[in-house]
Amino acid sequence: MKEFDYVIADPVGVHARPAGLLVKKASEFKSEIIISNGEKSAEAKKLISLMGLGIRNGDKIHCRIEGEDEEDALLEMQNFFRENL
C-alpha cells in the first residue's frame, strides 16, 4: 500500500473538469485508488463519488493506492495532482 497527502492549489478545487481528468488517470491503473477529504472517502475511478467529496482550494486530501501496479500509480497520481490541482 502506498499513500500520499496533497493540498489542493486549484482556485476552484476539484470541479467537473479536473475530476473527470482524475477519474481518467486513475482508470489507467489496476490498483484501487481511494481519495479522502476529512472523514469522507471515494474511489478515484468513480466521478460522482469523487465529486461528492466537495474538495476545495486549500483542502488537504489523502490518497491511498493498493494493488499490483501501486508503485507506478503512486508516481503518476502525484504528478497528476501537481500538474492539475
Give me 71's grid cell: 508503485
How many whole angstroms separate alpha carbon 67 and alpha carbon 78? 16
Pairing of strands 2-7, 40-43: unpaired
**Selected catalytic residue, list 9, 15, 24, 82:** 15
Give me the residues paired with residue 32 across strands: 66
Catalytic residue status for 15:
yes
Q: So which residues are the catalytic ones?
A: 15
